[in-house]
Amino acid sequence: MEEMEAVAFQIISNVGTAKSLVMEALYEARDGRYDAAEEKLKESRTYMLEGHHAHSALIQQEASGQKVEFSLLLMHAEDQMMSAETISDLVAEMIRMYQEMRQK
């Protein structure tokens, strides 16, 4: 497996785990377990950061003059990363909404 493919799979794996944890956080909040939801979000950020580090390594490689070859796999990894970021932002807001609704 080429280095770029390994990095793409590292991104996909980490952000996929992050996205799963974010959804688990939403389910915890839906059931009123806000502390557990916050822990899931915190854990998800760790995985998201790992995905970003792998992605940043590719960007730094290209910035230093080493060409990063385009690949459908890398494009998929970046798409998964952006999707996980979007879902994370939305779920964090939904959790706040659950909390506000229950306080009323």
Q: Name the active-site residue from 52, 53, 55, 76.
A: 76
d(CA 92, CA 21): 12
d(CA 85, CA 97): 19
Angle between helices 72-103 and 34-63 (to 10 degrees): 150
Active site residue 53: no
Q: Which residues of 72-86 are buried (b: 16+ CB within 10 A; e: fewer)?
A: ebbeebbebbeebbe
Q: Residue 45 corresponds to which tokens in the numbers above?
A: 């950020």
| Among 32, 47, 25, CA closest to 93 | 25
Please list the active-site residues. Answer: 76
